[in-house]
Structure 1
Amino acid sequence: MKLFTHLFLITGGVLLIACGGNKNDQQQAPPPPTPVTAVKAEKESATYYDAFPATVTALREVEIQPQVAGNITGIFFQDGQRVSRGQKLYTIDPQQYRASYDQAVANLNVQKANLNRAQKDADRYNTLAQQDAVAKQLVDNANASLEANKMQVAAAEAAIQQVATNLKYTTIYAPLDGTIGISQVRLGAAVAPGSTPLNTISEDNPIAADVQIDESQIQRFLSLQNKAGVVRDSTFILMLPSGQPYKYPGSIRIVDRAVDPQTGTLRVRIAFPNPEKQLKPGLAGNVRVKNSSGQPQLLIPYQAVTEQMSEYFVFVVGDSSKVSQKKVTLGARINDKVIVKNGLNEGELVVTEGTQKIREGAKVRVDQPGQSGNPKSDSSNRQTAAK
């Protein structure tokens, strides 16, 4: 019995030691590598478009304002039709202005008659003065009267010019070729200078789109303005409210003279052909501006990017299949890829799938794309990179 008891104790101790050793071995075993998908960061040709909100505007636009007061007696166009420069548009009742003109002409004739009499009196007195047959005071009075009548004639002529101008303004002509809008007055309406414009005429081919650019973009747009052939290579594309691109590319017509100190932006006017009159002033859209440096850019899949506190990071697979997190500076997003400006080197292996399952220093196993998890779940918390 003593021998059996000793054997039982020895056997139990061995079993306890064996079990304890297996437990420690299990606790010290390293975790298996996390399966991920990764791609190499490579340089590619990067041509993309920046979008700027735009408002369509006429390159030339004129408001038709009345220059004299009166009632509208004639309208000589159809609303919305195309008009030519010099075409008659409106007439304002000319009766009072014609009467004023006739009165001014009559007054001029009276002043001319007075001038003729004063001229004869002055000539007569000056002849007598040469013969010492008249008092010098009479001669001086005659000459002064002559000068006064000359001035009265000049004033009468100026009055005629004024009333003639008013009479001329009773007929309103188109100041330029373009499309006229809907008339703001009807026959018989009373109008006066400074009142509501009668109508507006705008040139519609070409037409323009105004965009506001940040002051950091000024040099870029000045370079595009001086670049030859920007129309042929579709540098400027207007996106219509329907989301469809306008079929004619544009070119920079005007870069404004000064930056708005309140907003820090500068207005740029881009002209577009408009032969079908599809574009109308006031139309809202977006102008897409081609951005291509001509140099290859470092591109990675956008789903590889994670955002933390408004900063962007990627996981890079390094030696011994361990990952490290790198902070990157992003450029424009191009489809499913994004430009990396700083923080990453060409050829580095960037994790694209499985990023939410790893952390700094974790060991990974790189699988083929689509085998490490659902890429949608990895990218659900990411936000669009700032351009």
Structure 2
Amino acid sequence: MKHSSNLLFSLLLIAVAGCQSKSPPPAEAPAMPVPEVETADATTRKIIDYREYTGRTAAVNSVEIRARVSGYLLQSPRSADSDRVQPAEPAKTDATSSSLIPEVNVNEGELVKQGDLLFMIDPQPYELALQQSKGSLEAAEARLKQANKDLSRSDALLDRNATSAAEYDQAVAAVAELRGQIENLRATVARNQLDLDYTRVRSPIDGLLGRTLVTSGNLVAADTTILTTVVSVDPIYVDFNVDEQSVLDYRKRMLEGEVKDARQTSIPIRLGLANEDGFPHEGSINFVNNITDPSSGNTLVRGTFNNDTGILSPGLFARIQAPFTSEYEAVLVPTKAIGMDQQGRFVMVVGDGNKVQRRSIKMGDIVDDMTVIREGVKPGETVVTSGLQKIRPGSEVRLQGAKS
């Protein structure tokens, strides 16, 4: 009896275990929600394609200031009143003497005007030479006056046969010789006056004064010693190199009538400095070199820019933006709508039934936050701008803000 009870209990346990081992039927997977994306319509705008280059600013005029006469330097832009050298003994022989030495009133690094006094060389030796030549001229003029009187008397005596022809000829020759001497002395006076003027070294142009290379008290040599430099600052040049492919592209478009020849018309360009956003300065091309550098394949191009604010100075790094097309109607989409995969650049275009398709594109210039699309998108088509990672070609999307 006890054995049968145990058997019955075992059978009940096996039945219960069998019931528990049966698994419930699998539940159906929930449907994936339609992804929501942001979109924008492709628009059109009249634009000009630009290309960017790098260059350096340069002065329109740059002059090395040299001494044109030799002598000891009395004043310079660097010399203070207490350091200025005075001549040992001012010349006071006549009214033409420059015993009052003019003052140099400009400093290094300042803007100067044409004619401003920059340096003063000791004028005394040149004043003395000028006075000596003037004295010789006055003496020669006095001798000429007497010779003319002698010639007049000889002429009267010759009419009365009271003198010989030889004596008359000598009187004529004396007058001619003195006239030649006077012309020579007048040239000497002019030269000495010029040398005296050259002791006052003046700026030949308007511009920015550079560092003083020779200070007061030093001996300077004529046409040899460089005293300083002056560079013009308004307007200012910018030199930049254009690569060979760009030159060829531009010439092709020029032959097709799309763009104008930079050598025959003014082509506007824009400039930005290293610390500036965009290209705030406007100028124009005024020179294209006649050769291409065979070592680099670049062609030198020069632009000119107004610089009335003085923000530009020679030697600065500059970014240049030059036009490469005439104005045309372009298709643009937001730059953030453009994706990149192994096949290249693409956008996702929303079509019928809110299904997207992949479009390979050919990009143009970037204008603000928009990108020019040369091929692949038509005006008015809708492209996905956000959520590209959530969609695949052919999948359905829900436009942001649309009702479910």
The TM-score with structure 1 as length reference comes to: 0.64
Q: How does 1:33-112 map to 2 (within 5 A)?
A: 42-45=42-45, 50-75=51-76, 76=104, 77-112=106-141
Cα distance, 1:273 vs structure 2: 2.8
Cα distance, 1:161 vs structure 2: 0.4
Cα distance, 1:72 vs structure 2: 0.9
Change (3 A) 1:119 1:50: same
Partner of 1:121: 150
Which residue of the other structure, out of 255, 261, 272, is the alignment partner of 2:286?
255
Partner of 1:266: 301
SS in 1 for 2:129: helix
User: 1:223 & 1:134 partners in 2: Cα distance?
Assistant: 78
Are the aligned partners of 2:237 and 2:304 in contact in 1 as well (CA < 8 Å)? yes
Which residue of the other structure, out of 338, 353, 366, is the alignment partner of 2:371?
338
Change (3 A) 1:331 1:261: same
Change (3 A) 1:126 1:117: same
User: 1:305 & 1:154 partners in 2: Cα distance?
Assistant: 87
Partner of 1:212: 240
Partner of 1:139: 168
SS in 2 for 1:71: strand
Cα distance, 1:123 vs structure 2: 1.5
Partner of 2:12: none
Change (3 A) 1:366 1:285: farther
SS in 2 for 1:155: helix
1:365 matches 2:395: yes
Change (3 A) 1:348 1:122: same
**Residue-by-residue CA offset, 1:332-381 (whole Å, 9 max, x unaligned):** 134565323357655678899989x99xxxx74365699xxxxxxxxxxx
1:189 matches 2:230: no
SS in 2 for 1:365: coil
User: 1:307 & 1:114 partners in 2: Cα distance?
Assistant: 103
Are the aligned partners of 1:54 and 1:286 in contact in 2 as well (CA < 8 Å)? yes
What letter is aligned with 1:181?
G
Cα distance, 1:133 vs structure 2: 2.1
Change (3 A) 1:289 1:272: farther
User: 1:197 & 1:369 partners in 2: Cα distance?
Assistant: 74
Are the aligned partners of 1:41 and 1:345 in contact in 2 as well (CA < 8 Å)? no
Size of the aligned set, in residue pairs, is 314
Change (3 A) 1:366 1:67: farther
Q: How does 1:370-385 map to 2 (within 5 A)?
A: none
1:283 matches 2:313: no
Alignment identity in percent? Answer: 22
What letter is aligned with 2:189?
I
Measured on the aligned residues, the alpha-carbon RMSD in Å equals: 4.4
User: 2:232 & 2:388 partners in 1: Cα distance?
Assistant: 58
User: 1:266 & 1:224 partners in 2: Cα distance?
Assistant: 14
**Residue-by-residue CA offset, 1:273-315 (whole Å, 9 max, x unaligned):** 31xx44332222224468896543123566346688xxx7658
Partner of 2:272: 239
Change (3 A) 1:113 1:293: closer
Are the aligned partners of 2:41 and 2:380 in contact in 1 as well (CA < 8 Å)? yes
User: 1:98 & 1:183 partners in 2: Cα distance?
Assistant: 26
Are the aligned partners of 1:71 and 1:188 in contact in 2 as well (CA < 8 Å)? yes
SS in 2 for 1:296: strand
User: 1:209 & 1:256 partners in 2: Cα distance?
Assistant: 10
Change (3 A) 1:256 1:295: closer
**Residue-by-residue CA offset, 1:188-222 (whole Å, 9 max, x unaligned):** 22222333531223444x44351437453883868
Cα distance, 1:160 vs structure 2: 0.7
**Residue-by-residue CA offset, 1:31-87 (whole Å, 9 max, x unaligned):** xxxx9x998983422658653424334455443221112221112232223434433
What letter is aligned with 1:191?
V
Cα distance, 1:144 vs structure 2: 1.8
SS in 1 for 2:226: coil
SS in 2 for 1:268: strand
The TM-score with structure 2 as length reference comes to: 0.61
Change (3 A) 1:152 1:223: closer
User: 1:280 & 1:324 partners in 2: Cα distance?
Assistant: 50
Cα distance, 1:102 vs structure 2: 2.2
SS in 1 for 2:260: helix
What letter is aligned with 2:260?
Q
Q: Structure 1 unaligned segments of length 5 or more: list them.
A: 1-34, 228-234, 371-387
User: 1:254 & 1:193 partners in 2: Cα distance?
Assistant: 39
What letter is aligned with 1:87?
D
What letter is aligned with 1:179?
L
Are the aligned partners of 1:304 and 1:350 in contact in 2 as well (CA < 8 Å)? no
